[in-house]
């Protein structure tokens, strides 16, 4: 009964529009009354994982509530959901997010654990409707076949069109987890960064003086001390290990854990670093070169970061990005681009290594900081 999922392909128009019923009235079932507004069901069913409750989920629920007096919400239990993706939030958190988002409808929703594919739908005697997207229509039809074999009348299938994001692809929890979009279907990085060189303002510079993450202290003359602790802390992470800075990249190489994505510029403390010559590009599957002067973020750097992350996500390929200029500001692009659960780290001269696990909070902060950059005439 996993009827709230959304595919990652299949272009459909309508981002930001009210949801449409794509097969309204396909089935007539017991337990409904006919009014001027159509079929009103006493009880409807909806099932799914509903991780990181997003606007597409909300539209699905609103459409169902427009046709049902009450909805039983069957949410996949953790033991099943996390076989699909370990990053899926706990059942209790997923339920709480729905309750908060649909607080005005709380009296009409009840929540239950979904422990198998179809849940109670094949044998439910009170329900007369089931809410789904076109992706799971076939499952609902299978449920109705099972009901017919048991002597029960079919459920009316209320099929709702997918809500699309800024790129006209359906919004989905998997796309959110992979860092492609936010919960509203919007891009994390402003479009201007795709086409224009953006300059850091004094306000952004002041805010960046504090470490963007947790500082793991260690001696400057032996960076492997802090780096070894970083690897221990992140051994159960579920995303790429992204290292920014020559010393950071070289240290990971020296202790036997090459970064999944490394960014270097041949410098440390803004001075040419002889140790950069020891970084071995042959350890990486891909190598990119880009330009990004100090205090700037360029389309060239953005494109290299995007390509490297996509290569890791889709092909499990590692990348070394060689920056002509400085790579110091790259984390402001990497966090918005990276999958949730990625580990992004950089060196703090004289102090140790700064580590931040990529999450929606980090993405939101970077989006806010990026909005403070400006173009120049």
**Rounded Cα–Cα distance for residues 249 and 319 (Å):** 12
Which tokens in the block code for residue 287?
A: 């190598």
Q: What is the pTM of this model?
A: 0.87
Q: What residue spans define the domains of the chain?
A: 32-177, 192-370
Residue 266 Rama label (left phi>0; alpha psi -120 to 50; beta): left
Contact of 41 with 69, CB cutoff 8 Å: yes
Residue whose structure tokens are 């390509």: 307
Fold classification of 32-177 is Rossmann fold (3.40.50)
Contact of 355 with 345, CB cutoff 8 Å: yes
**Rounded Cα–Cα distance for residues 99 and 111 (Å):** 9
Q: One digit per residue, pLDDT tens: the chain, 377 residues?
A: 666 654 433 333 333 344 555 544 443 444 433 333 456 899 999 999 999 999 999 999 999 999 999 999 999 999 999 999 999 999 999 999 999 999 999 999 999 999 998 999 999 999 999 999 999 999 999 999 999 999 999 999 999 999 999 999 999 999 999 999 999 999 999 999 999 999 999 999 999 988 889 999 999 889 999 999 999 999 988 899 999 999 999 999 999 999 999 999 997 777 777 888 899 999 999 999 999 999 999 999 999 999 999 999 999 999 999 999 999 999 999 999 999 999 999 998 889 999 999 999 999 999 999 999 999 86
Q: Exposed e or buried b for every residue in 252-269, given b needs 16+ CB within 10 A?
A: bbeeebbbbbbbbbbbbe
How many residues are given for the chain? 377
CA distances to 44, 46, 68, 122, 182 from 40, in Å? 10, 15, 5, 20, 33
């Amino acid at each position: 009964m996993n009827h709230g999922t959304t595919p990652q392909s299949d272009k459909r128009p309508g981002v930001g529009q009210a949801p449409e019923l794509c097969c309204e009235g396909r089935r007539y079932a017991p337990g409904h009354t006919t009014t001027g507004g159509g079929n009103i069901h006493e009880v409807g069913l909806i099932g799914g994982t509903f991780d990181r409750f997003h606007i597409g989920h909300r539209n699905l629920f609103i459409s169902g509530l427009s046709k049902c007096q009450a909805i039983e919400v069957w949410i996949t239990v953790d033991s099943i959901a996390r076989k699909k993706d370990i990053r899926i939030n706990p059942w209790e958190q997923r339920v709480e997010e729905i309750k908060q988002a649909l607080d005005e409808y709380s009296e009409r929703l009840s929540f239950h654990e979904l422990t198998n594919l179809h849940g109670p739908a094949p044998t439910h005697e009170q329900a007369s409707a089931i809410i789904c997207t076109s992706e799971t229509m076939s499952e609902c039809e299978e449920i109705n076949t099972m009901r017919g074999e048991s002597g029960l009348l079919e459920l009316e299938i209320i099929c709702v069109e997918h809500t699309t994001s800024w790129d006209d692809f359906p919004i989905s929890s998997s796309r959110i987890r992979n860092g492609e979009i936010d919960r509203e279907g919007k891009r994390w990085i402003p479009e201007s960064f795709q086409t224009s060189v953006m300059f850091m303002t004094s306000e952004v510079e002041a805010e960046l003086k504090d470490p963007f993450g947790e500082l793991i202290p260690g001696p400057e003359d032996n960076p492997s001390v802090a780096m070894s602790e970083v690897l221990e802390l992140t051994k159960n992470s579920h995303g790429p290990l992204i290292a920014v800075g020559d010393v950071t990249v070289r240290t990971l190489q020296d202790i036997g854990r090459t970064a999944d994505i490394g960014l270097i510029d041949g410098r440390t403390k803004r001075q040419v670093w002889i140790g950069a010559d020891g970084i071995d590009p042959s350890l990486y599957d891909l190598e990119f070169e880009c330009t990004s002067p100090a205090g700037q973020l360029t389309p060239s750097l953005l494109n290299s970061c995007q390509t490297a992350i996509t290569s890791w996500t889709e092909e499990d390929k590692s990348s070394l990005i060689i920056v002509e200029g400085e790579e110091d500001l790259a984390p402001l692009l990497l966090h918005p681009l990276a999958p949730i659960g990625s580990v992004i780290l950089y060196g703090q001269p004289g102090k140790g290594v700064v580590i931040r696990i990529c999450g929606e909070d980090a993405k939101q902060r970077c989006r806010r900081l990026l909005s403070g950059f400006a173009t120049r005439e």
